[in-house]
Amino acid sequence: MVRNMFDAISPRYDMVNRIMTFRLDVRWRRRAVRDLALPTGSTVLDLAAGTGDLCIDLARAGLLPISMDLSFGMLFHDRSGAPRAQADILNLPVPHASVDGIICGFALRNLVDLDQFFAECARAIRPGGRIALLDVGVPHNPLIRFGNNIYFGKIVPKIGALLSDGAAYRYLPKSVAYLPDRTVLVQKLRDAGFSDATHTQLSGGLTQLMVGTRNP
Ligand SMILES: C[S@@+](CC[C@H](N)C(=O)[O-])C[C@H]1O[C@@H](n2cnc3c(N)ncnc32)[C@H](O)[C@@H]1O
Protein backbone atom coordinates (compact mmCIF):
# COMPACT_ATOMS: atom_id res chain seq x y z
CA MET A 1 0.00 0.00 0.00
CA VAL A 2 2.80 2.42 0.98
CA ARG A 3 4.78 1.65 -2.17
CA ASN A 4 1.77 2.12 -4.47
CA MET A 5 0.86 5.37 -2.73
CA PHE A 6 4.34 6.87 -3.17
CA ASP A 7 4.55 5.62 -6.78
CA ALA A 8 1.29 7.52 -7.42
CA ILE A 9 2.37 10.82 -5.84
CA SER A 10 6.02 10.74 -6.99
CA PRO A 11 5.69 13.01 -10.08
CA ARG A 12 4.56 16.01 -7.99
CA TYR A 13 5.96 15.03 -4.59
CA ASP A 14 8.60 17.79 -4.41
CA MET A 15 6.27 20.57 -5.52
CA VAL A 16 3.51 19.59 -3.05
CA ASN A 17 6.08 19.33 -0.22
CA ARG A 18 7.36 22.85 -0.83
CA ILE A 19 3.85 24.30 -1.02
CA MET A 20 2.37 22.52 1.99
CA THR A 21 5.34 23.26 4.29
CA PHE A 22 5.98 26.80 2.97
CA ARG A 23 9.52 25.52 2.19
CA LEU A 24 10.17 24.74 5.85
CA ASP A 25 10.98 21.17 4.74
CA VAL A 26 14.13 22.50 3.07
CA ARG A 27 15.28 24.02 6.33
CA TRP A 28 14.46 20.83 8.33
CA ARG A 29 16.49 18.63 5.99
CA ARG A 30 19.51 20.95 6.15
CA ARG A 31 19.35 20.90 9.93
CA ALA A 32 19.31 17.08 9.91
CA VAL A 33 22.42 16.97 7.71
CA ARG A 34 24.15 19.52 9.93
CA ASP A 35 23.35 17.57 13.11
CA LEU A 36 24.52 14.35 11.52
CA ALA A 37 27.90 16.03 12.00
CA LEU A 38 30.04 13.61 9.99
CA PRO A 39 33.41 14.50 8.43
CA THR A 40 33.76 15.24 4.71
CA GLY A 41 33.91 12.10 2.59
CA SER A 42 31.77 9.98 4.93
CA THR A 43 29.43 7.46 3.30
CA VAL A 44 25.81 8.04 4.32
CA LEU A 45 22.75 5.95 3.48
CA ASP A 46 19.68 8.09 2.85
CA LEU A 47 16.94 5.62 3.77
CA ALA A 48 13.46 6.03 2.31
CA ALA A 49 15.17 8.72 0.26
CA GLY A 50 12.17 9.42 -1.95
CA THR A 51 13.18 11.88 -4.67
CA GLY A 52 16.59 12.47 -3.09
CA ASP A 53 16.29 15.87 -1.41
CA LEU A 54 18.44 14.77 1.52
CA CYS A 55 21.00 13.27 -0.88
CA ILE A 56 21.39 16.70 -2.47
CA ASP A 57 22.01 18.30 0.93
CA LEU A 58 24.41 15.52 1.94
CA ALA A 59 26.45 15.96 -1.24
CA ARG A 60 26.54 19.74 -0.72
CA ALA A 61 27.96 19.08 2.76
CA GLY A 62 30.79 17.02 1.20
CA LEU A 63 29.33 13.64 2.16
CA LEU A 64 28.82 10.61 -0.12
CA PRO A 65 25.10 9.70 -0.16
CA ILE A 66 23.52 6.43 -1.30
CA SER A 67 19.76 6.49 -1.77
CA MET A 68 17.42 3.61 -0.91
CA ASP A 69 13.65 3.50 -1.26
CA LEU A 70 10.87 1.00 -1.77
CA SER A 71 9.07 3.07 -4.41
CA PHE A 72 10.44 2.84 -7.94
CA GLY A 73 8.43 5.96 -8.83
CA MET A 74 10.15 8.02 -6.15
CA LEU A 75 13.59 6.71 -7.18
CA PHE A 76 12.77 7.47 -10.84
CA HIS A 77 12.13 11.12 -9.97
CA ASP A 78 15.36 11.45 -7.97
CA ARG A 79 17.47 14.31 -9.33
CA SER A 80 20.34 14.02 -6.88
CA GLY A 81 22.63 11.88 -9.01
CA ALA A 82 23.41 9.71 -5.96
CA PRO A 83 23.66 5.93 -6.47
CA ARG A 84 20.15 4.48 -5.95
CA ALA A 85 18.82 1.11 -4.86
CA GLN A 86 15.27 -0.11 -4.59
CA ALA A 87 15.19 -1.77 -1.18
CA ASP A 88 13.05 -2.36 1.89
CA ILE A 89 14.86 -0.43 4.61
CA LEU A 90 13.76 -2.99 7.17
CA ASN A 91 16.28 -5.36 5.52
CA LEU A 92 19.22 -3.25 4.40
CA PRO A 93 21.22 -4.80 1.55
CA VAL A 94 24.58 -3.75 3.06
CA PRO A 95 27.19 -5.57 5.21
CA HIS A 96 27.63 -5.02 8.97
CA ALA A 97 29.35 -1.76 10.04
CA SER A 98 29.79 -0.74 6.39
CA VAL A 99 28.61 2.90 6.47
CA ASP A 100 29.57 6.01 8.43
CA GLY A 101 26.05 7.29 8.82
CA ILE A 102 22.35 6.95 8.12
CA ILE A 103 19.80 9.66 7.56
CA CYS A 104 16.07 9.17 7.09
CA GLY A 105 13.47 11.85 6.38
CA PHE A 106 9.73 11.60 7.01
CA ALA A 107 9.39 7.83 6.70
CA LEU A 108 9.36 6.39 10.24
CA ARG A 109 5.58 6.53 10.46
CA ASN A 110 5.28 4.36 7.33
CA LEU A 111 7.37 1.51 8.73
CA VAL A 112 5.64 -1.60 10.04
CA ASP A 113 8.38 -2.42 12.57
CA LEU A 114 10.40 0.44 14.10
CA ASP A 115 12.45 -1.87 16.35
CA GLN A 116 13.62 -3.83 13.34
CA PHE A 117 14.46 -0.60 11.53
CA PHE A 118 16.57 0.73 14.42
CA ALA A 119 18.30 -2.66 14.75
CA GLU A 120 19.11 -2.64 11.02
CA CYS A 121 20.54 0.89 11.30
CA ALA A 122 22.69 -0.18 14.26
CA ARG A 123 23.91 -3.19 12.27
CA ALA A 124 24.85 -1.16 9.18
CA ILE A 125 26.58 1.81 10.87
CA ARG A 126 30.21 1.43 12.01
CA PRO A 127 31.01 2.08 15.69
CA GLY A 128 31.26 5.84 16.17
CA GLY A 129 29.09 6.47 13.10
CA ARG A 130 26.01 8.68 13.29
CA ILE A 131 22.28 8.57 12.69
CA ALA A 132 19.78 11.41 12.06
CA LEU A 133 16.04 10.76 11.80
CA LEU A 134 13.48 13.40 10.83
CA ASP A 135 9.73 13.05 10.95
CA VAL A 136 6.60 15.07 11.46
CA GLY A 137 5.78 15.76 15.10
CA VAL A 138 2.97 16.69 17.44
CA PRO A 139 3.52 20.25 18.76
CA HIS A 140 3.40 20.47 22.56
CA ASN A 141 1.95 23.97 22.63
CA PRO A 142 -1.87 23.46 22.50
CA LEU A 143 -2.40 26.50 20.27
CA ILE A 144 0.20 25.41 17.71
CA ARG A 145 -1.19 21.86 17.92
CA PHE A 146 -4.72 23.12 17.25
CA GLY A 147 -3.61 25.14 14.21
CA ASN A 148 -1.47 22.26 12.99
CA ASN A 149 -4.39 19.80 13.26
CA ILE A 150 -6.66 22.06 11.23
CA TYR A 151 -3.97 22.71 8.63
CA PHE A 152 -2.94 19.07 8.20
CA GLY A 153 -6.42 17.64 8.73
CA LYS A 154 -8.38 19.98 6.44
CA ILE A 155 -6.13 22.08 4.20
CA VAL A 156 -3.27 19.72 3.24
CA PRO A 157 -5.68 17.04 1.91
CA LYS A 158 -7.31 19.72 -0.28
CA ILE A 159 -3.94 20.90 -1.62
CA GLY A 160 -3.02 17.25 -2.21
CA ALA A 161 -6.29 16.52 -4.03
CA LEU A 162 -5.89 19.59 -6.20
CA LEU A 163 -2.27 19.01 -7.20
CA SER A 164 -1.67 15.30 -6.72
CA ASP A 165 -3.58 12.41 -5.10
CA GLY A 166 -6.29 13.17 -2.54
CA ALA A 167 -6.26 9.76 -0.80
CA ALA A 168 -2.50 9.91 -0.20
CA TYR A 169 -2.66 13.38 1.30
CA ARG A 170 -5.52 12.31 3.55
CA TYR A 171 -3.41 9.38 4.79
CA LEU A 172 -0.08 11.20 5.21
CA PRO A 173 -1.16 13.72 7.88
CA LYS A 174 -3.02 11.00 9.78
CA SER A 175 -0.05 8.62 9.74
CA VAL A 176 1.68 10.66 12.46
CA ALA A 177 -0.60 8.74 14.84
CA TYR A 178 1.46 5.60 14.09
CA LEU A 179 4.56 7.15 15.69
CA PRO A 180 5.23 6.45 19.37
CA ASP A 181 5.79 9.33 21.78
CA ARG A 182 9.23 10.97 21.62
CA THR A 183 10.40 9.41 24.91
CA VAL A 184 9.60 5.96 23.54
CA LEU A 185 11.33 6.74 20.24
CA VAL A 186 14.50 7.91 21.97
CA GLN A 187 14.51 4.89 24.28
CA LYS A 188 14.15 2.55 21.30
CA LEU A 189 17.12 4.22 19.63
CA ARG A 190 19.20 3.95 22.80
CA ASP A 191 18.28 0.29 23.21
CA ALA A 192 19.24 -0.39 19.60
CA GLY A 193 22.82 0.84 20.16
CA PHE A 194 22.77 4.64 20.04
CA SER A 195 23.07 5.30 23.77
CA ASP A 196 23.59 9.09 23.42
CA ALA A 197 20.42 9.53 21.29
CA THR A 198 18.68 12.90 21.68
CA HIS A 199 15.43 14.41 20.47
CA THR A 200 14.83 18.00 19.25
CA GLN A 201 11.59 19.67 18.25
CA LEU A 202 11.87 21.86 15.14
CA SER A 203 9.55 24.76 14.27
CA GLY A 204 7.59 24.49 17.50
CA GLY A 205 7.29 20.71 17.20
CA LEU A 206 5.87 20.57 13.66
CA THR A 207 8.82 18.31 12.98
CA GLN A 208 11.08 16.20 15.22
CA LEU A 209 14.74 15.31 14.79
CA MET A 210 16.56 12.50 16.57
CA VAL A 211 20.31 12.05 16.37
CA GLY A 212 22.73 9.59 17.94
CA THR A 213 26.15 7.97 17.75
CA ARG A 214 26.63 4.21 17.23
CA ASN A 215 28.11 2.75 20.40
CA PRO A 216 31.77 1.66 20.13
C1 LIG B 1 7.28 11.01 2.90
S2 LIG B 1 8.43 10.20 1.83
C3 LIG B 1 9.96 10.92 2.33
C4 LIG B 1 10.96 11.01 1.22
C5 LIG B 1 12.26 11.77 1.54
N6 LIG B 1 13.01 11.11 2.59
C7 LIG B 1 12.00 13.21 1.94
O8 LIG B 1 12.61 13.68 2.90
O9 LIG B 1 11.24 13.87 1.22
C10 LIG B 1 8.52 8.59 2.56
C11 LIG B 1 9.30 7.59 1.71
O12 LIG B 1 9.47 6.38 2.45
C13 LIG B 1 9.49 5.32 1.52
N14 LIG B 1 9.28 4.07 2.27
C15 LIG B 1 8.24 3.75 3.08
N16 LIG B 1 8.43 2.53 3.62
C17 LIG B 1 9.62 2.07 3.14
C18 LIG B 1 10.36 0.86 3.34
N19 LIG B 1 9.93 -0.12 4.13
N20 LIG B 1 11.55 0.73 2.69
C21 LIG B 1 12.00 1.72 1.88
N22 LIG B 1 11.34 2.88 1.67
C23 LIG B 1 10.16 3.05 2.28
C24 LIG B 1 8.39 5.70 0.55
O25 LIG B 1 8.48 5.00 -0.67
C26 LIG B 1 8.63 7.21 0.40
O27 LIG B 1 9.49 7.49 -0.67
| pLDDT one-digit tens code per residue, 151-163 | 888 888 888 888 8
Query: Letter for the amino acid at 208?
Result: Q
Contact between 68 and 92 under an 8 Å Cβ cutoff? The reply is yes
Identify whether the C-beta of residue 207 lies closer than 8 Å to the C-beta of residue 41: no
- pLDDT at 172 exceeding the cut of 80: no
13 within ligand 1 shell (Cβ under 6 A): no
- Of all protein residues, the one whose alpha carbon is nearest to atom 27 of ligand 1 is 50
- Establish whether residue 89 lines the binding site of ligand 1, counting it when its CB lies within 6 angstroms of any ligand atom: yes
70: CA distance to ligand 1 center in Å?
7
Q: Model-level pTM?
A: 0.93
Percent of the chain at pLDDT exceeding 90: 68
Residue 173 above 90 pLDDT? no
CA distance 181 to 65: 29
Does the C-beta of 48 come closer than 6 Å to ligand 1?
yes
Residue nearest to ligand 1 atom 12, measured at CA: 48
Q: Which of 98, 31, 34, 106 is nearest to 63 (CA)?
A: 34
Q: Examine the pLDDT at 87 and tell me if it is beyond 90.
A: yes
Mean pLDDT over each residue of the chain, to the nearest integer: 93
Q: What mean pLDDT is predicted for residues 170-192?
A: 89
- pLDDT for 151 equals 82
Q: What is the dihedral of CA 67, 54, 120, 5, to 10 degrees?
A: -70
| Span 186-195, pLDDT tens digits | 999 999 999 9
Q: Could you tell me if the CB of 69 is within 6 A of ligand 1?
A: yes
Q: Is 57 touching ligand 1 by the criterion CB < 6 Å?
A: no
Ligand 1 pocket member 80 (CB < 6 A): no
Cβ 53 under 6 angstroms from ligand 1: yes
What are the counts of helices (DSSP H) followed by strands (DSSP E) for the chain?
Answer: 10, 7
User: Residue 207 has what pLDDT?
Assistant: 93
pLDDT at 127: 98
Q: What is the pLDDT of residues 105-130, one digit of tens each?
A: 999 999 999 999 999 999 999 999 99
Rounded to the nearest 5 percent, the helix, strand and coil shares of the chain are: 50, 20, 30
Kindly report which listed range (79-83, 144-148, 202-206) carries the lowest average pLDDT score.
144-148
Residue 15 has pLDDT above 80, yes or no: yes
Residue nearest to atom 18 of ligand 1 (CA): 88
Q: Whose CA is nearest to atom 7 of ligand 1?
A: 105
